[in-house]
Chain A
């Protein structure tokens, strides 16, 4: 069963994972002439066949509810519903994870070329200068070893290449970038803007990784609002379509799919010489040899791989002399509130699809104010005449009840009158939140799995209270009425806040830093201990600001890849 191909080629770099970090690393390295072997734990993606863009619910017998009406029972075989391009879920058959007693954590994994970038929200926000030096500002957490000036050129490169909408605003918490024109706000978004204006809150054009002009041969957005289903015309960013597929044409890339990385193999000097992986199709172990390795399997999966790469020399796991691998795990703080807005009732029907996401958003605006919680959050906005789906009218059915014509009238009147606000805020790393290897459980490939500890602190709970007050003000200022909580019994902060991991912004588990005793990576995302090992996913993050991580993962991966190529050229790696 164990097969090692001794005559196999030695690649310059093996990249593990093909999401935002791995896709960017692969594209940048192959463009620089470096040979890459990319390992992806899932199958190949064929957008034309696999994406369900433009499908109507009635084109499938279950209308999107899933076989057996799964969605009515709170289940989905597809993570975010039948039409979404997740190719993954909160639970994967045969690949468990566990949580320590008294802890809750949800881990979303996508096994497919492109990973979670095929379906993600495309929100693309630069970290602010102060986000990278928060400890210096408020004495909490840890500063990054890099400054805004270090990362800014790579934000430029990333934005230019993947394409991001936006506008120049000059707001310190939301640095401007290289933007394409954002489409105009929808009607409910105009109301939110006006409401915010009255409350002294900024509400600005969205920064989404959606192109509104032709970019590197990719046609502009056609405004069907279905980014989450995957875009057949690649008019939004997915690492599969925008980076991996083009890199395949370079002749420098060997993509191996259905390859689940198991362990990094080191030589006598402690450097990584090969990656051992399970070929899922044959369930055999294979090895691929390399001069350097870049982990981009997702923050927690990369930590797992390092912790599982034990040897007499690295008894604590590889690249872990600091003991920081698996520690400092954070997710974004999540809270949502919606309201019914009478001003929108009876409005003329029109196509409000637009981009797959909001056209305006609220950046954090109180960064220079003293509040009862540290750091901040941004606000995402939902609403409009969305495509009717299974469950779209559950709220009005519950509220109106009845049947027949009066029910239909109520549904017609209710359609498009709801506005939703979602807060995404910064969590402070704490000692009670981390992942480690579960000593008792392996997955179906025999690989030891992760066990999660996750606890919110008072800082996050207070932040959620602030979100609730703010969202209530915004909804009420536009004449709206806040919808009752979905679970009225859940009134306290600890119940309002999202479950850890649910916002799918998990980062920090292989953090960077100048001090090798307190961090696993240096400021170039290179292991302090193992010079030919890099991490290009969210694992390297020192903090988790109120900016969704993908753009920063892309920028840091770009920076690390350029550094790695240069170090290889100099013979240092």
Chain B
């Protein structure tokens, strides 16, 4: 289990705690974040989960991809694992939720969520993706967990390069003159009935 990165991560974690506690200057904080970013890049894109075991991480990965196609490329499992590794409250939501998924899948299909067929997986999501089902016997936990998974998967995807491209955000760039396309103004005015 020796991990050459472990001690360095431990140091980063300790420093990150110091940031939260306010015992650190902004310059130092910035440095830490740059180090953390560099760490991800240095790993060459192969991410080693920090919190979840291999089965949990594989299950999370599958869940993210069904929830938002493209979310794995957008880094959702990594995002959730990293934050969970820093926050026991969040970690409990996910380890508990992923275990619930397996239990429920076993009960229904006699296999883990990961081993279930795509149809069986989506059939389960069709239940837990809606608040209205929360009152159904045994589904409340699943609905609450999926609400977390959906929010964080959506956040991870739409803050990633493919998600930003898909949603069509065109800003965060320097322009000499700010202009509003006439076509867009006319479109909205016409539809509003105010034009």
Chain A interfacial positions (CB closer than 8 Å to B): 43, 46, 49-50, 54, 56-65, 67-70, 72-73, 77, 87, 92-94, 112, 183-188, 190-191, 194-195, 198, 221-226, 341-355, 385-394, 397, 401-405, 407-408, 411-412, 415, 477-479
Contacts of A68 in B (CB 8 A): 20, 83, 86-87, 90
Q: Provide the bound-state CA to CA distance between A77 and B33, in Å.
A: 14
Contact A223 B178 (CB under 8 A): yes
Contact B168 A385 (CB under 8 A): yes
Report the minimum CB–CB distance from A176 to chain B (whole Å). Answer: 22
Contact B69 A404 (CB under 8 A): yes
Q: Is B7 an interface residue (CB 8 A)?
A: no
Task: Give the dominant DSSP class at B's interface.
Answer: helix
Q: Which residues of chain B from 173 to 195 have a CB within 8 Å of any chain A CB?
A: 173-176, 178-181, 183-185, 187-189, 191-195
Contact B188 A61 (CB under 8 A): no
Q: Provide the bound-state CA to CA distance between A359 and B188, in Å.
A: 17
Q: Which residues of chain B from 60 to 105 have a CB within 8 Å of any chain A CB?
A: 66-69, 75, 78-79, 82-84, 86-87, 89-90
Chain B, residue nearest A414 (CB): B167
Residue from B84, B158, B170, B191 within 8 A of A350 (CB atoms): B170
Q: Provide the bound-state CA to CA distance between A489 and B172, in Å.
A: 38
Chain B, residue nearest A354 (CB): B178
Q: Provide the bound-state CA to CA distance between A397 and B26, in Å.
A: 34
Contact B180 A63 (CB under 8 A): no
Contact A415 B168 (CB under 8 A): yes
Contacts of B23 in A (CB 8 A): 93
Contact B158 A60 (CB under 8 A): no
Residue from A190, A221, A225 within 8 A of B189 (CB atoms): A190
Count B-side interface residues using an 8 Å CB cutoff: 74
Contact B180 A92 (CB under 8 A): no
Contact B69 A58 (CB under 8 A): no
Contact A387 B171 (CB under 8 A): yes
Contact A389 B178 (CB under 8 A): no
Contact B66 A404 (CB under 8 A): yes
Q: Provide the bound-state CA to CA distance between A166 and B130, in Å.
A: 47
Contacts of B185 in A (CB 8 A): 187, 190
Pick the most buried of A49, A346, A385, A390: most chain B CB atoms within 10 A of its CB: A390
Q: Is B111 an interface residue (CB 8 A)?
A: no
Contact sample, A vs B, 8 pairs, CB 8 Å cutoff: A50-B30, A54-B172, A56-B161, A61-B82, A347-B187, A351-B170, A403-B67, A404-B67
Chain B interfacial positions (CB closer than 8 Å to A): 16, 19-23, 25-27, 30, 33, 36-37, 40, 66-69, 75, 78-79, 82-84, 86-87, 89-90, 122, 125, 129-131, 146-148, 150-152, 154-156, 158-161, 163-164, 166-176, 178-181, 183-185, 187-189, 191-195
Contacts of B75 in A (CB 8 A): 58
Q: A50-B26, A352-B180 are in contact. Are A63 and B174 (CB under 8 A)?
A: no
Contacts of A194 in B (CB 8 A): 189, 192, 194-195
Contact B37 A60 (CB under 8 A): yes
Contact A195 B158 (CB under 8 A): no
Contacts of B131 in A (CB 8 A): 401
Chain B, residue nearest A222 (CB): B174
Q: Provide the bound-state CA to CA distance between A404 and B183, in Å.
A: 32
Q: Provide the bound-state CA to CA distance between A50 and B158, in Å.
A: 25
Taking A46-B27, A190-B188 as given, write out 14 further A-B residue pairs in contact, using a Cβ cutoff of 8 Å, ordered by the A residue number: A57-B159, A60-B33, A72-B90, A187-B180, A224-B171, A347-B184, A349-B170, A351-B171, A388-B163, A388-B167, A397-B147, A403-B129, A404-B69, A407-B150
Contacts of A225 in B (CB 8 A): 171
Q: Provide the bound-state CA to CA distance between A194 and B192, in Å.
A: 10
Q: Provide the bound-state CA to CA distance between A385 and B180, in Å.
A: 12
Pick the most buried of B36, B131, B175, B191: most chain A CB atoms within 10 A of its CB: B191
Residue from B130, B156, B173 within 8 A of A224 (CB atoms): B173
A-B pairs with CB below 8 Å: how many? 217
Q: Provide the bound-state CA to CA distance between A394 and B21, in Å.
A: 28
Contact B155 A67 (CB under 8 A): no
Residue from A93, A223, A477 within 8 A of B175 (CB atoms): A223
Contacts of B161 in A (CB 8 A): 56, 58
Q: A69-B83, A342-B191, A408-B68 are in contact. Are A222 and B175 (CB under 8 A)?
A: yes
Contact A185 B192 (CB under 8 A): no
Contact B192 A50 (CB under 8 A): no
Q: Provide the bound-state CA to CA distance between A327 and B70, in Å.
A: 57
Contact A343 B188 (CB under 8 A): yes
Contact B159 A191 (CB under 8 A): no
Contact A49 B83 (CB under 8 A): no
Q: Provide the bound-state CA to CA distance between A222 and B171, in Å.
A: 11
Contact A191 B188 (CB under 8 A): yes
Report the minimum CB–CB distance from B97 to chain A (whole Å). Answer: 14
Report the minimum CB–CB distance from B85 to chain A (whole Å). Answer: 9
Contacts of B90 in A (CB 8 A): 68-69, 72
Contacts of A57 in B (CB 8 A): 159
Contact B154 A411 (CB under 8 A): yes
Contact A407 B184 (CB under 8 A): no
Q: Provide the bound-state CA to CA distance between A87 and B22, in Å.
A: 10
Contacts of B79 in A (CB 8 A): 61-63
Contact A62 B26 (CB under 8 A): no
Q: Provide the bound-state CA to CA distance between A68 and B194, in Å.
A: 46
Contact A407 B68 (CB under 8 A): yes
Contact B160 A58 (CB under 8 A): yes
Contacts of A408 in B (CB 8 A): 68-69, 166
Pick the most buried of A77, A188, A405: most chain B CB atoms within 10 A of its CB: A77
Q: Provide the bound-state CA to CA distance between A430 and B125, in Å.
A: 55
Residue from A92, A393, A478 within 8 A of B192 (CB atoms): A478
